[in-house]
Structure 1
Amino acid sequence: MTQPPSQPPNEPPQGGFGAPQDPPPGGFGAPPPAQPPQPQTPPQPPSLDKKDGPAAGGDQPQQPPQPPQTQPGYGYPQAPPPGQPGYGYPQQPGRPPQAVPGYGFPQQPGQPPQGAPGYGYPGQPPQPPYGQPPQPYGYPQPTTMPMNAQGSPGGGRKFGPQAMIITAAVVAIALIVGGGFWYKSSQDSENTAGGGTEQGEGKGGEGEAPGGSGGEEKVPSDPSSKVLFQLPAPKVKGDTSFAVEGSWLTSKVFAKPGLSEINGYDLDSGKVTWTTPLSGQHCASSPEVGDGDIAAVVYENAKPTAENKYPGCDKISAIDLTTGKILWTESVEVSSRAARYDEVSISGNTVAVGGGTDGGAAFDLKSGKELWKPQNGDACEDLGYRGGEALVAVRKCGSYDNPKMEVQLLDATDGTPKWSYKLPAGLDNAKVISVDPVVFGTDSQEITASGVTDVFALDDKGDLQSRFPLEEGKFMHDCDVNKVHDCQQIFTGNGKLYVPTAEHEAAGEEYGRTNEILSFDLKTGKPTGDRFDAGGIYKIYPLRMDGENVLAYKAAPYEKGGQIVTIDPTSGKQTVLVENPGTESVRKVERNFLPEFGEVIYGDGRLFMSTLYIREASKVTDDPEYLAIAFGTS
């Protein structure tokens, strides 16, 4: 089980232009004023989009939310109970247990030299969320996990304690060049004022697509955004942080889990349009939205009590995101008890749950009818699934300490495999990056900064098409430990795999850190030569495909707001879709939700950024804590 990181320093660094102050372990802000139950309109903190925001004393970057303590029953991976037999895949016709081999552990990012400013900031990097080692500011764990049509992300950020052993980020980028990577400069790489895109570019008429590109998102006449709303974080007490991972965007609502409820918010005002109570704390959400705007969630069977501190994550429900109505609720019985899960995915009309120690199960999206479940005595079990255009399972056979693994493309209606690919010996895990085509990654390093160190691309018959490395310290994607469906900032499109590089010193006269997006050909496994620069001292995070384009979020340097850009993969031209306000108060909130420790969803001119965890508000500062913030263009 991943161990939480060490606590941040008690004393903030002193002096210097833009010197950051790391908040004490308690958090980055005091709670907002007490809210009435079921508020219809979230309270708006004063002056959020004005120059003189609620926090005075200069522009000092906030620390990301403090990680939760790892506890069973809260949606986190758990070791198999001693003496408990593993439960495999259901005994469906045509789906016999199959043997397979295994895989390794995550990598460690490079760290800048002492005193080198990270991402437009000097000195000490902020403390990252749950389970992550200290990293340079802006170093993502992941984003990219599977996205729905609106680009929904999800997933935690967990690394082992070994990740404290790291190399300098400056050395990491030198290794990229030294390792034989050749880049094709983007068309706008010389433009640094707008983060690699001229401020005048991409400003066509309302609704125009980026010139010469295959992007589907409309380009606004003016990409300058305003704050639509900000949602205060639910109040909690005690030392434990609570996971609220998962969020969804439909044409009518932005939906986000709370502690023991899910809320739907009006897209422009943030007004609560519906609230759906849950029997216990939220544990997991489907990254996908199914037909009819239906999502799936896993949650605890009860609220914690003194007698039962850790209720199990064994309730599975489908929820209509338009109305908030629970369509059905089920659980999976194995050996006279309820199986626990911490992942859920949707493919077509199938909801598949996994991530526990009992084996996978599936239900019909609309009715909740059970499609398959683990059977006692099975020699193999499904560890988890990734949904979307297809349903892919990661299956394990053999003993706990000597597993044999395989990746299977399933018939989502009954779980029977269409084909299986056995992992090479020594690989004991697989993280699915894409289902169409099927691309997955494994870790072959004991210490890893990235989510995967080896990528496998399969063809439509399940045969290996290419296998290539993502070398330690050179890239900054993330795939969560012990999760099948939680890869962030790495995805496929146009026959390529897109992934961001690790941050490095900016070239020229700019004093700060930056990075790029590179791509690999899935058929050959070789670098394509694509290079999409963040520009200046921006930091670029790929989110998802935008048609044939690449959609990315760019975190801004000092005194600027973040951007959403769509990138033409042929020319490298970046078109700005959103540019957020650069006021101090807005920047402070936005920086708490960067993709490495938050969720970022963009669609139809609106950008939603939200937290992965909530915790007790700080008793040291007056800054409010937020669940989410939304931006929109006119």
Structure 2
Amino acid sequence: MILVSVVTALGLAGGGVWLFTQGSGNSHSSASHGSGKGSANRPKNSSKPKPVNGRLLLSLAEPSVPAQRPTSGMWVTEQGFVKTGLSKVTGYDPTGGRKWELPLDGEICSASRHATSDNKVALLVRGSKATGDVGISAVDHCTDVVLLDLGTGKKLWQKQARSGDQTVEFRQVAIGGNAVAAGGTRGGAAWSLNDGKELWKPKPEDTCHDDNYGGDGGKLVAMRRCGELEHAQYSVQTLRPNGAVASKFMLPRGIKDAYVVSAAPLIVAVDANDSSGNGVSDLMTIDDSAGDGKLRAKFSMGNGRYAVKCTYDSQSCGNLVVGKESLYLPTSEHQTNQDGIPSNEIVKFDLSNGRVKGKAASPEATWLSPMNMDGEDHLIAYQMSIGDINNAVVSIDPEAFTVTPLLKLSGNSHHSLNRFSPGADWLLWAHNRLYLGRESINKPYDEKHQDYLVEVWGAG
């Protein structure tokens, strides 16, 4: 995953939940819509925290499956953590004890990265469970939107959308502006957060569609596509609670795909003929304070120079973190000395002008990936080992850009740890623990090693 997205800006939500990251008409109502930064005043602490040798506190084995199955979603609360599994969601206490379990009709294709202030998240679920040994991706028959209470495990409501005589299939789901919205190539739909009342849905005759949404608290943003995929015109639309468009920014023509990375601040990713395979050529920050949105800054991904990846299947982007007026991006692995030993950097950008504020270099033979902000100040990153060095959780100073280890992970767990992929799976540092959760599971490729759905690491 997010997530960021992402998922995207990841941090402590108001309710105590830690988060792992369109016709040209101007209304999304059912009637007319067819279809983080360092603190300058903080006292300086000259002493560095001593790194702790971590141990595996708990692990949950992957369920046996004949082929790929999606398991999108993971959240950490004050009472424990919640993880999606194979057609179910389970709440755990801090020791891994099961608190509650909610069976679902099918596999979980996508999940909202952000929770509401009262601990609610949205899930995108298949209408029925997969059968046979054919792999299922995150876009296969994903028709049902579920609102879940993370505290109680209660399913508050479950909805579908119909367009003509067809049930609409979606690719992703988001919460924002007191609404739950699901987007896809056939259009987007939304429901009231409080009671599940339908707010809008696509119509068969629509020529413009909401491909994806981004949400954050009271804000919901739609990525609207008009025309066929090969010659699409995209616009970024910030929506009012009733679905009306509060702000609109037209993206340049010639864009293949576009995604909402963050709603507040508003950041989008676009693919303008990227050839690196990452699915993104540029990131853009947008000022949506007025009816006509304005471009604040543009960040080129350098044709693969930065290891940010966006996927058309899940309509999301991973491996980046948004802080207060700052954006953190990891560079791709590259050689940094004459010996040819690879490493990378995390680069901090100013959201207002796109300029580089600084960068933190990974130690030799390691690779850094941003995870989430520690409040509004330090960036927390995951350090993966390319050689014999242990994986670790590190803190990056926002001004000096020094890398300080917080938790060193056991070298005996390289296999299981490296099965979790930063930018694709769910990784989060919360309560001095590292949480890792799988975005999808598959048939084991190695019978000698156990793969895990969840691992939680902490002090030894």
Assess if the C-alpha contact under 8 Å between 1:353 and 1:361 holds in 2: yes
| Structure 1 residue 490, shift from structure 2 partner | 2.1
Task: Single out whichever of 313-322 and 548-557 deviates more from structure 2.
Answer: 548-557
Assess if the C-alpha contact under 8 Å between 1:404 and 1:428 holds in 2: no
- 3-state SS of paired residue (1:587): helix
| Structure 1 residue 457, shift from structure 2 partner | 1.9
Assess if the C-alpha contact under 8 Å between 1:253 and 1:321 holds in 2: no
Partner of 2:305: 474
- 3-state SS of paired residue (1:371): strand
- 2:157 matched to 1:325? no
Give distance in 2, aligned partners of 1:294 and 1:420: 28
- 2:246 matched to 1:418? yes
**Residues 473 and 330 of structure 1, relative CA distance in 2, 3 Å threshold:** closer
Correspondence list, 1:437-448, <5 A: 437-448=265-276
Partner of 1:612: 439
- 2:16 matched to 1:152? no
Partner of 1:587: 414
Correspondence list, 1:246-325, <5 A: 246-267=73-94, 269-304=95-130, 312-325=141-154
| Structure 1 residue 245, shift from structure 2 partner | 2.2
Partner of 1:499: 329
Q: Which amino acid aligns with 1:392?
A: V
- 3-state SS of paired residue (1:387): strand
| Structure 1 residue 414, shift from structure 2 partner | 1.7
| Structure 1 residue 220, shift from structure 2 partner | 7.1
Partner of 1:490: 320
Q: Which amino acid aligns with 1:152?
A: L
Correspondence list, 1:77-156, <5 A: 145-150=7-12, 152-153=19-20
Partner of 1:135: none
- 2:404 matched to 1:575? yes
Q: Percent identity?
A: 29
- 3-state SS of paired residue (2:348): strand
| Structure 1 residue 404, shift from structure 2 partner | 1.4
| Structure 1 residue 499, shift from structure 2 partner | 0.9
Assess if the C-alpha contact under 8 Å between 2:221 and 2:236 holds in 1: yes
Give distance in 2, aligned partners of 1:334 and 1:575: 53
Correspondence list, 1:526-537, <5 A: 526-528=355-357, 530-537=358-365
User: CA offsets, 1:80-136, max 9 Å, x none?
Assistant: xxxxxxxxxxxxxxxxxxxxxxxxxxxxxxxxxxxxxxxxxxxxxxxxx9xxxxxxx
Partner of 1:525: 354
- 3-state SS of paired residue (2:182): strand
User: CA offsets, 1:529-550, max 9 Å, x none?
Assistant: x011112222100123321222
**Residues 342 and 464 of structure 1, relative CA distance in 2, 3 Å threshold:** same
- 3-state SS of paired residue (1:448): coil
Assess if the C-alpha contact under 8 Å between 1:246 and 1:286 holds in 2: yes
Q: Which amino acid aligns with 1:299?
A: V
User: CA offsets, 1:246-288, max 9 Å, x none?
Assistant: 2111111322221211112222x22222111111122211111
Assess if the C-alpha contact under 8 Å between 1:386 and 1:392 holds in 2: yes
Give distance in 1, aligned partners of 2:160 and 2:319: 32
Q: Give unpaired runs (5+ residues) of structure 2.
A: 13-17, 22-41
Give distance in 2, aligned partners of 1:542 and 1:274: 31
Give distance in 2, aligned partners of 1:221 and 1:533: 19
| Structure 1 residue 455, shift from structure 2 partner | 2.4
Give distance in 1, aligned partners of 2:135 and 2:338: 55
**Residues 609 and 244 of structure 1, relative CA distance in 2, 3 Å threshold:** same
Assess if the C-alpha contact under 8 Å between 1:564 and 1:577 holds in 2: yes
Partner of 1:431: 259
**Residues 627 and 211 of structure 1, relative CA distance in 2, 3 Å threshold:** farther
Assess if the C-alpha contact under 8 Å between 2:208 and 2:226 holds in 1: yes
Q: Give unpaired runs (5+ residues) of structure 1.
A: 1-128, 130-141, 155-209, 214-218
User: CA offsets, 1:431-461, max 9 Å, x none?
Assistant: 2222222121212235124342122222233
CA RMSD, 1 decimal: 2.7
Partner of 1:622: 448
Partner of 2:25: none
- 3-state SS of paired residue (2:419): helix
Assess if the C-alpha contact under 8 Å between 2:9 and 2:323 holds in 1: no
**Residues 449 and 378 of structure 1, relative CA distance in 2, 3 Å threshold:** closer
Give distance in 1, aligned partners of 2:49 and 2:82: 24
Partner of 1:118: none
